[in-house]
Chains A and B, each alone.
Chain A
């Protein structure tokens, strides 16, 4: 009896002393665990982290995003249980097979009230009990780590950061979006504002009332029941081209691929859906075609350049390039008194140190301009910053405050993110960093999606026969020759590719792994390709910019393109990396911005979340009244293949492309002056930018430079000259100075007139003047000197192959489908 009592006491002590261990996804979902069973422990761990770890970005999306960055997400519009049917069609989000609708027969939640309106997902029984209070133990705490790699300088003892800092939360019902109980939730306050609907509802119906553009998502005093976080999977998880679901709104785990990249994702729209569509942010940033996102919109580089979520496949054969890499490397110790900027050891750990050193290293050129060129694992780590992880601890202070107009003010411009500081000050950084090898190992498992397999054929030869039947006899072989002679120079990783090259070769020791990456991965000047150049003008990896530490030294020193007319084009800008054509049949539309090929769109049941708007314009940049329609999402094999065929047709026949350029589809209304009555006068002033105005004219403008220059030419001309001494020729500088002087003069004159008109109560006349001047940002002078991108047509360029005969184009299309 005494022994039993002793055991009970020990048990109680254990319970009291140690926190409860959460249950990771592999435990919460047997179905998911089953899909993990084909992987080694390190690959499985990497997969779970990639799909579910948010690395503490739930605070970013709940607080930093609306309060500091001024944007808002209406999560309920996306994730409400009753909207599950629109998850894929409206947002391109992949429904989580494990979640259920409250009230459904097998669903543990009996009503949506129990789940605050969301779907019920595994782990919610525990999570829901912690809404409004502290003490939640994250499922990541129960994460089963892969065996520790004892072969690094960090030694044989496992000193990885606590897995709790991976922060899994539970599913929201959309894969990659995770929820966490908000300990600050106040149910009384929540009820008073009307719950989720009241949280996001606009506060007035009359468009003339500024409250018609305001809701409570910006009210920082309101704490919703959940903090929503985002895993990398939010953009990268999609349907397996080899095994798509019959119903894209009701997939099974076997239909889901964590690495293929979501070409249907409307993540850009999602990231702005809490804002009025008359707001600048919505019109200029949140609107993007499916499958692309501007990852340099948040650490703003003032060039709108949404890009695709690339397929992560066959990475074991991705080409590597020698670069001069200055980065932190693992070491066992630092010398006593070492400069912590050069060598640093993690406190309370033995021999877990890093040293910053410059080495020549073979690394991949990961991003679309070849950026993130300091190593595979570092590139993976940086993805977590794209999704908001460690924002407060390490990087939000390095990004631009868009309203800071004083050049001496902090956050006027970017400053470089400090990897060493982030390692020191963000536990979630360390939690990810200590497991990068697992994520990398998972990446290396991904293989191309071969069309012959997707069609259920026996072999590549069977596909060739089928394609020959579809195109013409011998089409695939003829296409192979066309490819070798016209395309392989850029789209093969083999040496001196030619007609004798086997582009479909596989590795002897692993027949699932292709030998040819089907792309050189080399960087070339974007102007040589002719494609829309905005992505090439990305500058976040340039010296002194936020991601400068993620660029190799030689990348930052790449010479500027003499052909480009933009003023700011140095610091490594102007380049695009070649792409792989592996599984091209499954990844259309084409190009880094998905712009060559048909537009695709979902068909949601609720028209309010149908975000398609035609980007087709005429030669004058005006929206086409009779534009081509969009193609409905169709992730089936046949659907992907049909999209591929038409995209190839547009690729090879550039003269048939209808130009695409996003223009405002609604008026933008900017409330300039307070809408209050004072001394019998309504003080309100609003500025309207009309629908139809080219978005790029304003969303890529270096307005801060323009403001500074307008001041400098008046008060400090010498400083103006010094600023542009190295950037502009004498003639350009003279033109800029003269043009600014003219604008300044007009502004000063208009100011006087406006003052008189305001005094007379002619506010509308002032608004007209202001609008007239504002629209001048689109004029040639302002654009030439202050736009970061002068290209306009988004589906231009890559005209290679247009001179082929029609038969050759057909043959090439047939062959590329086999890749």
Chain B
């Protein structure tokens, strides 16, 4: 019973509208850090099936403007993704999808194994059915365009600061890594105490310098849990709410992501080994998508997949059979 507040939005609506803009500006730069990544990659359209963006068979007499999406179980049943479909996907493909397509892809994935080691990340905000920024679609006109540009700015800032996630699978812990924390130094209690790690480098520079040192911030707990988009099977949850339990936690800045801060919660599902699709929420409000990529695992995974190796699952995979993906 009881979902989160029948009315929180009803009550908080006013508050959000009044103070939301200001706080968003104050906090966006920090909050978005937690989920994002590198330089922008050019989107490439993938040839995988999707259900129609809108279920035209449904309508609501109370709200004729309401958009109905095709039920996720039906998407999976009627537009299954084969293992080959998933093996062909790369992060650039996700960038070419509107939000409904991203959602339909996510719904046709399983959690896969809880990742281990470093994963490079990329982030992107929701794009509407017209492939415009969702804010642009909602607000329209000049205001919409301005909002969309702000989002792009935030996206770029996030990409510049956040580089990926380091998974400590055995400890069920995760930390986010950034290459340079100087822009955040005012937010950090003790910069000297920050943990560091060496991770693979991406891009042309990696030919010369295959690794780079990064700083680890914003610890989170890792567990199998509920997806806030698709309840039919579990996702891997990256939960910052109780990160003050974790070793190395610093109130500033790690508390910003915690239960008394922005209440960040990510969830990820595996597209294929080494490649995960994620969703980031602030206080359970969907904010943006992200991808995680580990080239080494991805390459090994393709080999295993070609040899017909079964996909490992750490989490509850539900009961709807993914016939195509098992082949």
- Chain A residues close to B by CB (< 8 Å): 59, 63-64, 67-71, 210-211, 214, 216, 218-221, 268, 271-272, 280-281, 284-286, 293-295, 297-298, 300, 302, 304, 391-394, 396-413, 415-416, 418, 421, 424-427, 539, 542-544, 568, 570-571, 670-679, 683-685, 687, 689, 698-701, 703-708, 710-712, 715-716, 719, 722-723, 725-727, 747, 750-751, 754-755, 758, 766, 769-770, 773-774, 776-777
Contact = CB atoms under 8 A, between A and B. Distances in A.
B232 to A, nearest CB: 6
Contact of A770 (B14, B59, B144): B14
Contacts of A699: 6-7
Contacts of B50: none
A722 to B, nearest CB: 6
A411 B283 CA distance: 16
Given A59-B316, A392-B233, A678-B187, A685 B3 contact: no
B256 interface: yes
B141 interface: yes
Contact of A64 (B60, B226, B286): B226
Nearest to A72: B2
A755 B21 contact: yes
Contacts of A286: 2
Contacts of B26: 678, 683
Given A543-B61, A716-B140, 4 more contacts: A219-B242, A403-B285, A670-B15, A725-B64
B7 A421 contact: no
Interface in B291-312: none
Contact of A675 (B2, B100, B260): B260
Contacts of A298: 1-3
Nearest to B60: A544
Given A687-B12, A751-B18, A758-B19, A408 B68 contact: no
Given A393-B320, A715-B139, A403 B4 contact: yes
A304 to B, nearest CB: 7
Contacts of A774: 11-12, 14-15
B62 A570 contact: yes
26 contacts: A59-B316, A64-B226, A211-B259, A218-B241, A219-B221, A280-B8, A281-B2, A295-B1, A298-B2, A392-B226, A408-B137, A410-B229, A413-B60, A424-B320, A539-B62, A544-B68, A571-B62, A676-B252, A701-B6, A703-B7, A726-B61, A727-B62, A747-B18, A751-B21, A758-B22, A777-B10
A70 B4 contact: yes
Interface string B57-101: 011111111111101111001000000000000000000000110
Given A410-B229, A543-B61, A715-B141, A221 B242 contact: yes
A408 B67 contact: yes
A676 B138 contact: no
A539 B63 CA distance: 13
B15 A672 contact: yes
Contacts of B10: 698, 701, 703, 706, 777
A777 B6 CA distance: 13
A639 B130 CA distance: 66
Contact of A402 (B5, B22, B66, B237): B5
A298 B4 CA distance: 10
B318 to A, nearest CB: 6
B218 to A, nearest CB: 13
Contacts of B242: 216, 219, 221
B49 interface: no
B72 A397 contact: yes
B6 A304 contact: yes
Contact of B65 (A405, A571, A722): A722
Contacts of B284: 70, 403
B6 A70 contact: no
A689 B65 CA distance: 32
Contacts of B27: 673-674, 683
Nearest to A570: B61
Interface in B106-155: 126, 128-129, 134, 137-141, 143-144
B113 to A, nearest CB: 16
Given A676-B260, A770-B18, A777-B10, A412 B66 contact: yes
B210 interface: no
Contact of A674 (B55, B144, B262, B319): B262
A673 B19 contact: yes
B6 A285 contact: yes
A391 B234 CA distance: 12
B23 interface: yes
A780 to B, nearest CB: 16
B231 A391 contact: yes
B3 A404 contact: no
Interface in B216-245: 221-223, 225-234, 237, 239, 241-242
B204 interface: no
A766 B19 contact: yes
Given A211-B260, A407-B67, A707-B9, A773 B14 contact: yes
B255 interface: yes
B260 A396 contact: no
B25 to A, nearest CB: 10
Nearest to A398: B71
B63 A705 contact: yes
The 10 A-B pairs with the shortest beta carbon distances in the complex, nearest first, are: A703-B10, A70-B4, A396-B231, A67-B226, A298-B1, A674-B261, A69-B3, A71-B2, A773-B14, A221-B221
Contact of A544 (B59, B73, B99, B285): B59
A224 B26 CA distance: 38
Contact of B128 (A408, A427, A770): A408
B144 to A, nearest CB: 8
B71 A397 contact: yes
A421 B72 CA distance: 11
A216 B245 CA distance: 11
A715 B228 contact: no
A790 B19 CA distance: 30
B231 A68 contact: yes
A679 B143 contact: no
Contact of B239 (A59, A220, A571, A708): A220
A405 B12 CA distance: 12
Given A425-B320, A570-B62, A704-B9, A673 B138 contact: no
B134 A408 contact: yes
A221 B26 CA distance: 30
A570 B62 CA distance: 8
Nearest to B21: A751
A397 B260 contact: no
B13 interface: yes
A63 B225 CA distance: 7
B201 interface: no
B43 interface: no
B134 A406 contact: yes
A489 B111 CA distance: 59
Nearest to B223: A221
A770 B65 contact: no
A410 B9 contact: no
A412 B103 CA distance: 14
A754 B7 contact: no
B150 to A, nearest CB: 16
A67 B22 contact: no
Given A393-B232, A402-B4, A687-B11, A715 B143 contact: yes
Contacts of A719: 65
A712 B64 CA distance: 13
A284 B232 contact: no
Given A402-B3, A726-B61, A426 B231 contact: no
B138 A685 contact: no
Contacts of A302: 6
A38 B300 CA distance: 64
A798 B66 CA distance: 37
B232 A69 contact: no
